[in-house]
Amino acid sequence: MDIIIASNNPGKIKEFKKILEPLGYNVISQKEAGINIEVEETGTSFRENSELKARAIYKLTHKQVLADDSGIEVEYLNGAPGIYSARYMNLGSDEERTNYVLKQLEGVEESKRNARFVCCICYIDENGKEQFAEGYWNGKLATESRGENGFGYDPIFIPNGETITSAEMLPEEKNKKSHRAIALKELLKILNKE
């Protein structure tokens, strides 16, 4: 069963493939589906942004589409970067963004370094019916970047119960526990009820 991922983010597409393909889905990036657009994320929440992306791709294809909007919320920064995670402070790379967050938390004690990854998925079936699911992955921020796996803020995020960052985890391990995995499990529960 084909499903188009409404994203141009290679790291995100790779994660969706690893999670969904063993379940029988043929995961296709929007680029592989011949769609070369960047949907502007003008929403004020993860849900609104995922909906904007899914609707834009569905409108062009009328096929199953899955979009997610995700990011990291840092308690000490009052929830920032939040929905602006991928374009925080207009910095150009993941490394610049993670370094900027680390700089803002310089000298902040461990008990005040709480953070969570958030993922909201919007799924639209071939008939245009929309479903939403959310996932949260709680943890804290490291004091330095560590690890080569993952993308985004993975090198500075230590999940609760772990001593390593999500970038130091094996992809298979991360894909069982992450905010994206949790949101996908929630979505699959919803779809299996129908």
- Is 69 catalytic? The answer is yes
Residue 11's nearest CA partner among 29, 33, 34 is 29
Q: What is the pLDDT of residue 194?
A: 63
Q: Cα(3)–Cα(37) distance, rounded to whole angstroms?
A: 17
pLDDT lower than 50: segments of the chain: none
Q: Which of 2, 68, 69, 125 is catalytic?
A: 69
Residue 161's nearest CA partner among 152, 169, 153, 149 is 169
Q: What is the pLDDT of residue 23?
A: 86
State pTM to two decimals.
0.93
Q: In CATH, what is the architecture of 2-193?
A: Alpha-Beta Complex (3.90)
